Structure 1
């Protein structure tokens, strides 16, 4: 499932023709990093690949003042079909990926308990910081925020809370990890 393609095609279908800089700006304003793995820097390359595949087409080139010329892209009929297919894939594909920390814990029998404790405490601190960042971002509503955006934020909050709970459970049982 290519989240970047889904984001670009959905943005063009929903908001109409735009250039890559607008897509990057929208990704930032929509806080796409909170609910997807879309990297704003990858949007230009994605646009060019999708153009070569016939999913988007250049509509015109604009230049304002001394700014660089920007190509305005429009989604094609084939792009709309691809958007529907990607959306269907996103809704039907259940992808709970293993966290590398699970593998590290499984093969960490020789790890010093205090070193492991430090790793876990650092991870908990990082998860709490991510949770705080999400809370801080969500305290500031954006102009076209929808109910779906609130539900997505709640999903992120719940996932982070569960991760923190699991890490705290491992910490609580750290002295028993070497037992059979």
Structure 2
């Protein structure tokens, strides 16, 4: 499932004809980076690919003063079918990608407890900062905010809380982990 395709097609279906900068602005305003893999910079390329596939079509080109010309796109009937297929695919797909920290932890037998604690503490701080940002954004609304937007943001917050809880658990058991690793190595 390609989240950028889904975002572009849904933006055009929801808001009507737009040019690339409007879609990019909507991604920023909707805080797409918090709840998806959509990167605003990838939207222009996606628009061109979607046009080549007949999923969107150029309506017109506009130019105001000395500003660059802008092409206005709309979703096609085939694009709406693709949108519905992508939505169904997204609902069916459950992703829990392996986190590199698991591999690093499983292979960290050569690291001492303080080094491991430092790495895990750094990760915990990054996660806590992301959660803090989401908590802060939760208290502020944005244009056209919907119940779905609130639910998606809460999903992200719950996932971050679970990650923080796991990191706390690992940090609490770090002494046992490094002791077990040292004992296992000594027995070999």
Length-normalised TM-score, structure 1: 0.97
Matches within 5 A, 1:1-180: 1-178=1-178, 179=180
DSSP-derived class of the 2:105 partner = helix
Q: Is the deviation greater in 33-42 or in 60-69?
A: 60-69
- For structure 1, list consecutive stretches of 5 or more residues without a partner in the other structure: none
- For structure 2, list consecutive stretches of 5 or more residues without a partner in the other structure: none
How many residue pairs get matched? Answer: 180
Measured on the aligned residues, the alpha-carbon RMSD in Å equals 0.9
Distance (Å, rounded) in 2 between the aligned partners of 1:47 and 1:70 = 12
Distance (Å, rounded) in 2 between the aligned partners of 1:58 and 1:148 = 30
Q: Which has the larger radius of gyration?
A: 2
How far the C-alpha of 1:143 sits from its partner, in A, is: 2.2
DSSP-derived class of the 1:82 partner = helix
How far the C-alpha of 1:138 sits from its partner, in A, is: 2.6
DSSP-derived class of the 2:110 partner = coil
How far the C-alpha of 1:135 sits from its partner, in A, is: 1.7
Distance (Å, rounded) in 2 between the aligned partners of 1:144 and 1:121 = 37
1:131-156 per-residue CA deviation (whole Å, 9 max, x = no partner) reads 11112223220121111111111111
Length-normalised TM-score, structure 2: 0.93
1:97-137 per-residue CA deviation (whole Å, 9 max, x = no partner) reads 11010010111111111000000100110001001111222
Distance (Å, rounded) in 2 between the aligned partners of 1:70 and 1:143 = 24
